[in-house]
Amino acid sequence: MYDLHLSAEQHEIRDTVREFVTNEIKPVAIKPARMESLDRRPPADILLKAAQMGLRTLALSEPLGGAGADGITACIVAEELAAGDPDVAAVLVETSALSHVLFDQLMSPAQRERFLPAFIKDDAAQLALAAHEPDSDTELGVNYHRAVPVAPATNCAATRTPTGDWIINGTKSFVPNAPLATLFAVQVRTDPKAPAGQGISTLLVARDTAGMTVRELDQNAGWYHGLRGDVTFKDTRVPADQLLGDEGSSPLAAGLEALGRGLPLVQAMNIGIGRAAYEAAVDYARIRVQGARRIIEHQAIGTLLAEIAIRIELARTMVWKAAWAADHPAAVAERSVTDLPLQTIARVYTAEAMHQAALDAAEVFGAMGVMRDMPMHKYVQDALIFLHSGMSPGDGKLRIAEAIAEFRRD
Amino acid sequence: MYDLHLSAEQHEIRDTVREFVTNEIKPVAIKPARMESLDRRPPADILLKAAQMGLRTLALSEPLGGAGADGITACIVAEELAAGDPDVAAVLVETSALSHVLFDQLMSPAQRERFLPAFIKDDAAQLALAAHEPDSDTELGVNYHRAVPVAPATNCAATRTPTGDWIINGTKSFVPNAPLATLFAVQVRTDPKAPAGQGISTLLVARDTAGMTVRELDQNAGWYHGLRGDVTFKDTRVPADQLLGDEGSSPLAAGLEALGRGLPLVQAMNIGIGRAAYEAAVDYARIRVQGARRIIEHQAIGTLLAEIAIRIELARTMVWKAAWAADHPAAVAERSVTDLPLQTIARVYTAEAMHQAALDAAEVFGAMGVMRDMPMHKYVQDALIFLHSGMSPGDGKLRIAEAIAEFRRD
Amino acid sequence: MDFSLNDEQREWQQKARKFAEEDIRPVSLARDRILDPRETWDWDLFKKGSQLGFRTLAVPKAYGGPGADFVTQALVMAELARGDSAISKAFSQNWKWSHLIASACSPEQKQRFLSAFLADDTFVMGKGITEPNAGSDNRLPPEDEVRAGVRLKAERRGDEWILNGEKCFIANGNIGKLFFLDARSNPNASLKEGVTMFLIPRDTPGFRSGKVFNKSGWRFYQNAEMIFDNARVPHANVVEQTGGQSRLDKSERTGGDLFGDLELAANALGVCMCACESALKLTRSRTQGGKPLLEQQAVQLKLGRMNMLTEALRSYVLRVAWEHDQKLPSTNAGFVMNFSTDVIQEVTQINMDLHGAAGFTMDALANKLVRDGIIWTHLAGDAVQRMKVVRRMAKATG
Amino acid sequence: MDFSLNDEQREWQQKARKFAEEDIRPVSLARDRILDPRETWDWDLFKKGSQLGFRTLAVPKAYGGPGADFVTQALVMAELARGDSAISKAFSQNWKWSHLIASACSPEQKQRFLSAFLADDTFVMGKGITEPNAGSDNRLPPEDEVRAGVRLKAERRGDEWILNGEKCFIANGNIGKLFFLDARSNPNASLKEGVTMFLIPRDTPGFRSGKVFNKSGWRFYQNAEMIFDNARVPHANVVEQTGGQSRLDKSERTGGDLFGDLELAANALGVCMCACESALKLTRSRTQGGKPLLEQQAVQLKLGRMNMLTEALRSYVLRVAWEHDQKLPSTNAGFVMNFSTDVIQEVTQINMDLHGAAGFTMDALANKLVRDGIIWTHLAGDAVQRMKVVRRMAKATG
């Protein structure tokens, strides 16, 4: 039965995180170097405090020590954190999502026993999924509606030793959380003969494994939020029983998003940026006087603010719908929600709409909208990063178009 | 608790109405004169069949003889009907909404006893709210964020006779359903001294009342869906006990939409138009070959279709949210939904997005998109009518802007 | 750099403006309201315009016409379209074909057809390309399917060609006296190689016109089916043997091929001018709370956008017209055509928006302008019409 | 109608293109990356450009300058901006003020300032209008509040004026040698009546520059605070007594006031040219599945839109430049400025979009162009800048 009431827990966590953001994150976020994007590294103490509040393990089930948050709750938290600081948000959101996927969904009991206690105990421990490789491209564009695989090639390879252990060689690039992660899920090719996108396995690799090096990337040269690193494996030996799932059919082959819990968390963060810009613009429009009236009383500014509000409301509504649908996959078959890819719809709309929202909000500020020591320019830049990293709106539309045509690339 | 599952009843009624549209309405809707908009009058037999299916009394509560549909169900039905024929939809949606408002919410038991049986018995009986007057204008634009009333002036006046009866004089214009209605709720000024928007009462007036004339408007000269008429009262005598609610404080003063059950039904109809255009474009793109490929396999067409699909998904999601919120007014106070006017947000987005959807769908058809004997041109025209009748997107944005500024015009 | 008009240009502009104001505008809305698409044409109006020179404007002086340059043509089209877009097109439609006769036909063909065209105020022309199953494929032939496009069959039999098949959406198809027609003379060759262009007079045996298309806008201007049932065309009516069009040299194609792009853009400019005037008049005169709508910020922003886009379009149209006169090969003709689609649709839409704020009626002119503007989508601004230009640009700069 | 350039125009264009390619582009990205906003200026580059004539381009021939017309100025601005938008502005910023000296100042002032300006390659100028609490009110003075706008106080004391207050966002505020400055000489009169314009040399006692604003884009070009603390300005530095600017006649204001509109539009054109080149180069060279991106429909549509808008803007810019040269009063300067905002932002955004499809890095140039383009919003295209033009239009046609 249709019901849009948030639960008491959802209200509570929203209030709690918002307060945390106001008291702990905002004072850091408005530091000049951070606003000017010279140092966007998430401060360790903030990450620790957030972990102590349970935000690092938000999606991990309660029996395993997490908060067992559902998809909408995770989106609420992601939005609130990003409204304060998207780089802090990106680290926590990634670990939280992976904690559920790895510990609740994919690990064997023995693997869980080996890795969970250390992860729970150490509030600074983050998780990483090493999937992306240098120069990889889905090639969705050129292969739109063509029956060829569009999975990027996996060159990072693992071979078995006679004892069954694995030897990994290769490089993963732009791995989120790599500089902070204590445990990596690494996508490796274990069947050298399989076509692209197949014959892939996932290995669990602890940070201190010999032959593995992590190079933190310069955040400001990159085009992402949070911290990322390149991870290189040189004859890295991983015990046989650290294979996650079955050999040659990685449960993470299609990326984190394609799992049952593939949640629009990045989009929720993106909304956080739009909302921060919007709230700043409304506050300013309520005090700035021009033509002897507060500018919010001018039709032109009022219309601009209304357009931003409409976009945010639409984006959040769609993101929450996609989040709920991810938690309730059966809803598609019983036709309560569309069979088009909702997360992609949410992604395309949110990226474009929040970018416009940030630009429009900056317009309200006049010249102050382009100054590096004011937050507006950073909201615009953050929105651009969301718009132009990961799957582009253009590729998103092609993916939706393939679904409309009921084209399946198997 | 957040839940987007439709109920079994909602699924069933959607399927039933869709089948009715396919079998009964579509064969009428594709008649050349109708596609060419020469004769858009809703056929009486279709209205009768729809009434027999319960669509005329959809929102009326079950104890009173209706289906007791909630807001989302009403939106589902409105969309399905309009995807078949928006003029048929407009008549039924208006009567259904009014049946709930008048009989369930506003009438006294005695009034209900007098008017309900005839309404239930006669499948051809429709209801009308006579509110709009010639040349009336809310003047929201010029009075944006100014503390003056923006309710349109009510010149149609009622005075009391010594026996307490009412004598109405004046004219109402563009009254939806007037040519078909057997019962009218008429907005009249009963306090000549009150400022604009105040001192308004509602009188129930049966169609055969002496001194009342209904002139059906030429549907094709107007800019609306359904049938409308001008209603003129010349010394029309109405019994004292046909006053609805209290004297001088009409429960319908702010229009049907402002009631607790002010539902985004017009927007749901608007989505029906966009969906009809979209489905036609997808069907065509799957068979039309160009460059030796079906055009749905071209990036350009695929992208266009995806953009339409995104808009429809967003619009429907927002309309249903607004419908749910109208049924659950407490959700605002407990912050499960925004305190901005959701119905207005849904209206602005839907009107603009469905207009673009219809234009884009027409592009897929090439020259056939502008031919009067093909449905596409009519979808475009229908979408234009939704975009430019009733509250304009521009006024909608100003209303949202006033809400953002927490401006209250009391 | 000189944006001013010379005397001749100004004279034609004034003449067209006068004709639009005095003759076109008074009948425009009435013509738009006629329901039967066969009945919208007005021969009296057309003949009067023809006598003023608008039908034959592009015929070179050497052949007895006014030989107006492209700048003049653009000005005249815009002024006429300011009165009625479809009526403007009814005149300008003839220009590229008279130009084509003058530049591509043999002396004998010129003599036969151009003299007749000049002499007869009811002589209108057209060109048939589109077919029921070959529209965009003619505009942007697929690289991997050479046989896509034109299917109307032409077979040589001695001194005659036998044509079988049909064309659709052909401008003036039901009233024209002469048509250029692309037909497939070699079914196994590409569009470029396998198509021959014919001159088809109305009285060609075996040719008849079919239905007249019932368009949403552009009512005055008629598009019809052309049906060929063993139609017999003398070999003397072949334009430049096979592969006719592609043999024109580049500078001629600026005029012959690309005129259509300029034509749509200049016509759109006129429609936009009309919409801007209509909106300004409305917002000056209609009041809210006793004040003209024009005083409201939201209204000002809409008016500004309309006028800004219209003046940008005017600048681009005149530049392209000048480029045509200089026979400069360029992709600007295609781009200005694409641009005119965006501009005409947004400008007429804003005008409707301003007019619609009043409630449940719509200004008939505002409604007509929007309907006229929608036709640009498939003629000038759909994905095919845009990609075509980009590919040309990439080739030119590659 | 003539869209061609004369020899002088073409020469300046070529010279600017060469300087942009050989001198500006090689340093542009490095200058953009400098973090301290006080350190972005490059005197060597600027002096070289000055020696080539770009600093003094607009000084009339009668006063010893090149006296380039507006078309030339537009061409040069676009070419320089194609190399770097902010560097182009660093040169063109001087043009309107040298023009203002030449047209509005007294012979004595001309002698004092124009000669010095011509002689010194490091002599840059600026004008101070905006204040912390008076930005848009200066551009669009409210009708119901005459005292809105400029608050910097100017009081006459004998042969001197005493200035107190501050200006912000003033171009070249920290490096300029001479500034035009609006100050309130009558606190109770409207902007038009109560404001006096002064010439303020850098060494004016009581004047100092404050912080340099740290802009997101346009890094090379510096905007600073100007602080006046009992600053003493001789009466001889008053421009045309009180009400200076409004006393210029209309044709002069086409150049004096409206140059800024053309300046932003022409500069935007250059940025768009750069973005189009960058996008075409990328989509030709980067491949997907072995094929250039350029072969994909979605990419073609994006490239087409960029080039279409850029060429529309070019057409409009050159028309407005010509109108300025003809001293035609028109609202086109304002409209083309508004239009340039829409175009530069969409074009640079599409270019970023094409560059960003690759993942988690961004092309530094694509990023810079977007940041440079965003500054147009408040300078050229916010609601105030748009309504201003519409009101002017309504007045002109009313």
Interface contact flag, B223 C293, Cβ < 8 Å: no
Interface contact flag, D315 C311, Cβ < 8 Å: no
* pLDDT, tens digit (0-9, with 9 covering 90-100), for A224-275: 999 999 999 999 999 999 999 999 999 888 766 655 446 899 999 999 999 9
- Mark whether B218 and B294 lie in a shared domain: no
* CA–CA min distance A371, chain D (Å): 4
pLDDT of residue C241: 47
Give me the CATH number covering residue A377. Answer: 1.20.140.10
- Return the closest-CA partner of residue B159 out of B248, B246, B253: B248
Whether C308 contacts chain D with CB within 8 A: yes
Q: Which band of pLDDT confidence, cut at 50, 70 and 90, is reported for residue D250?
A: very low
**In whole angstroms, how large is the CA radius of gyration of chain B?**
22
pLDDT of residue B262: 67
pLDDT of residue C245: 47
Using alpha carbons, list the distances in angstroms from residue B300 to A149, A387, B361, C385. Answer: 21, 20, 12, 11
* pLDDT, tens digit (0-9, with 9 covering 90-100), for D274-316: 999 999 999 999 999 899 999 999 999 999 999 999 999 999 9
Which helix (H) or strand (E) covers residue B228, if one does?
strand B228-238
Domain end residue (candidates: A254, A285, A320):
A254
- Return the closest-CA partner of residue B227 out of B131, B122, B127: B127
pLDDT over 60 (residue D246): no
In a domain, B315, yes or no: yes
Interface contact flag, B300 D296, Cβ < 8 Å: no
pLDDT over 90 (residue A78): yes
- Mark whether B194 and B283 lie in a shared domain: no
Q: Which band of pLDDT confidence, cut at 50, 70 and 90, is reported for residue B258?
A: low
- Return the closest-CA partner of residue C352 out of B355, B208, D275: B355
- Mark whether B282 and B397 lie in a shared domain: yes
Mean pLDDT of chain A: 94
Interface contact flag, D359 A142, Cβ < 8 Å: no
Provide residues of C within 8 Å CB-CB of chain A.
Answer: 296-298, 301
- Mark whether A137 and A73 lie in a shared domain: no
Task: Name the one residue in this structure whose structure tokens are 């009435």.
Answer: C30
pLDDT over 90 (residue B292): no
- Mark whether B332 and B282 lie in a shared domain: yes
Domain end residue (candidates: B90, B125, B160):
B125
The span from the CA of A383 to the CA of A377, in Å, is 10
Interface contact flag, B345 A314, Cβ < 8 Å: yes
The span from the CA of D173 to the CA of D176, in Å, is 6
- Mark whether B117 and B204 lie in a shared domain: no
**Beta-carbon-side half-sphere exposure of residue A362 (alpha carbons within 13 Å):** 33
Which position has the higher pLDDT, A164 or D145?
A164
Q: What is the mean pLDDT of residues C285-310?
A: 96
SS3 content of chain C, % helix, strand, coil (to 5): 55, 15, 25
* CA–CA min distance C380, chain D (Å): 13
* CA–CA min distance D305, chain B (Å): 14
pLDDT of residue D256: 40
Whether B163 contacts chain D with CB within 8 A: no
The span from the CA of A387 to the CA of A278, in Å, is 17
Whether D387 contacts chain C with CB within 8 A: yes
Instruction: For residue A41, count other CB atoms closer than 10 A to its CB.
Output: 16
For residue D179, the cross-strand partners are D126, D200
pLDDT of residue A258: 57
User: If contacts are CB pairs under 8 Å, which of residues 270-289 in chain D contact chain C?
Assistant: 280, 284
Whether A298 contacts chain C with CB within 8 A: yes
Question: Which of A109-123, C319-333, D77-91 comes out lowest in average pLDDT?
Answer: C319-333
Q: What is the mean pLDDT of residues B109-138?
A: 94
Q: Which band of pLDDT confidence, cut at 50, 70 and 90, is reported for residue B134?
A: confident
pLDDT of residue C175: 93
* CA–CA min distance A138, chain C (Å): 24
- Which two tokens mark A19? 């307060």
pLDDT of residue B149: 78
Interface contact flag, A370 D215, Cβ < 8 Å: yes
In a domain, B259, yes or no: no
- Mark whether B400 and B269 lie in a shared domain: yes
Domain that holds residue B360: 264-404
**Helix, strand or coil, per DSSP, at residue D116:** helix
Q: What is the mean pLDDT of residues D29-41?
A: 96
pLDDT over 80 (residue C355): yes
ipTM of the complex: 0.96
Sign, CA dihedral A348-A350-A353-A354, equals: negative
In a domain, A409, yes or no: no
Against chain C, the chains showing at least 3 CB pairs within 8 Å are A, B, D
Contact B392, B355 (CB under 8 A): no
Residue type, B112: R
- Mark whether B118 and B206 lie in a shared domain: no
CA angle B345, A283, A313 (to 5 degrees): 25
**Helix, strand or coil, per DSSP, at residue D21:** helix
Alpha helices in chain C (DSSP H): 7-19, 25-33, 43-51, 70-83, 85-104, 107-109, 115-119, 136-139, 191-194, 250-256, 259-285, 297-325, 332-356, 364-374, 376, 383-397
**In whole angstroms, how large is the CA radius of gyration of chain A?**
22
Q: Which band of pLDDT confidence, cut at 50, 70 and 90, is reported for residue B247?
A: very high
Q: What is the mean pLDDT of residues B349-363?
A: 98
Give me the CATH number covering residue B206. Answer: 2.40.110.10
pLDDT over 80 (residue B394): yes
Residues of chain D contacting A94 with CB distance shorter than 8 Å: none
The span from the CA of B252 to the CA of B258, in Å, is 8
Domains present along chain D, CATH in parentheses: 7-119 (1.10.540.10), 125-237 (2.40.110.10), 255-397 (1.20.140.10)
- Mark whether A344 and A273 lie in a shared domain: yes
Backbone angles phi, psi at D265, to 5 degrees: -65, -45
Which position has the higher pLDDT, D196 or D280?
D280
pLDDT of residue C250: 46
In a domain, A77, yes or no: yes
- Mark whether A88 and A150 lie in a shared domain: no
pLDDT over 60 (residue C319): yes
**In whole angstroms, how large is the CA radius of gyration of chain D?**
21
* pLDDT, tens digit (0-9, with 9 covering 90-100), for C88-124: 999 999 998 887 888 788 889 988 999 999 999 999 9
pLDDT of residue D248: 47
Which helix (H) or strand (E) covers residue D186, if one does?
none
Q: Which band of pLDDT confidence, cut at 50, 70 and 90, is reported for residue D191?
A: confident
- Return the closest-CA partner of residue C86 out of C281, C332, C264, C290: C264
* pLDDT, tens digit (0-9, with 9 covering 90-100), for D307-343: 999 999 999 999 999 999 998 888 999 999 999 999 9
C-alpha D332 chain-centroid distance: 17
pLDDT of residue D135: 67
Say if pTM beats, i.e. exceeds, 0.80. Answer: yes
Which position has the higher pLDDT, A82 or D104?
A82
The three-state DSSP-derived secondary structure of chain A is CCECCCCHHHHHHHHHHHHHHHHHHHHHHCCHHHHCCCCCCCCHHHHHHHHHCCCCCCCCCCCCCCCCCCHHHHHHHHHHHHHHCHHHHHHHHHHHHHHHHHHHHHCCHHHHHHHHHHHHHCCCCEEEEECCCCCCCCCCCCCCCCCCCCCCCCCCEEEECCCCCEEEEEEEEEEECCCCEEEEEEEEECCCCCCCCCCEEEEEEECCCCCEEEEECCCCCECCCCCEEEEEEEEEEECHHHEECECCECCCCCCHHHCCCCCCHHHHHHHHHHHHHHHHHHHHHHHCEECCEEHHHCHHHHHHHHHHHHHHHHHHHHHHHHHHHHHCCHHHHCCCCCCCCHHHHHHHHHHHHHHHHHHHHHHHCHHHHHECCCHHHHHHHHHHHHHCCCCCHHHHHHHHHHHHCCCCCC
Mean pLDDT of chain B: 94
pLDDT of residue A256: 63
* CA–CA min distance A35, chain B (Å): 27
**Beta-carbon-side half-sphere exposure of residue B94 (alpha carbons within 13 Å):** 29
Residues of chain D contacting A291 with CB distance shorter than 8 Å: 136-137, 140, 142, 144-145, 148
Give me the CATH number covering residue A30. Answer: 1.10.540.10
In a domain, A410, yes or no: no
pLDDT of residue A224: 94
In a domain, A3, yes or no: no
Whether B139 contacts chain C with CB within 8 A: yes
pLDDT of residue B254: 72
Interface contact flag, B290 C378, Cβ < 8 Å: no
Against chain A, the chains showing at least 3 CB pairs within 8 Å are B, C, D
Against chain D, the chains showing at least 3 CB pairs within 8 Å are A, B, C
- Mark whether B240 and B292 lie in a shared domain: no
The span from the CA of D272 to the CA of D371, in Å, is 13
Residues of chain C contacting D337 with CB distance shorter than 8 Å: none
Domain end residue (candidates: A211, A236, A254):
A254
Q: Which band of pLDDT confidence, cut at 50, 70 and 90, is reported for residue A297?
A: very high
pLDDT of residue C251: 44
Q: What is the mean pLDDT of residues D112-117?
A: 92
- Mark whether B293 and B202 lie in a shared domain: no
Interface contact flag, A306 B400, Cβ < 8 Å: yes
Instruction: For residue C177, count other CB atoms closer than 10 A to its CB.
Output: 18
Interface contact flag, C301 A298, Cβ < 8 Å: no
* CA–CA min distance D316, chain C (Å): 5
Using alpha carbons, list the distances in angstroms from residue D262 to A409, B132, B164, D222, D316. Answer: 52, 49, 72, 20, 10
pLDDT over 80 (residue C143): no
Question: Which of A49-58, B126-135, D3-12 comes out lowest in average pLDDT?
Answer: B126-135
When divided into structural domains, chain A yields a total of 3
* CA–CA min distance D75, chain C (Å): 11
Residues of chain D contacting A388 with CB distance shorter than 8 Å: 352-353, 355-357, 362
Least CB-CB distance to D383: which of C280, C297, C315? Answer: C297
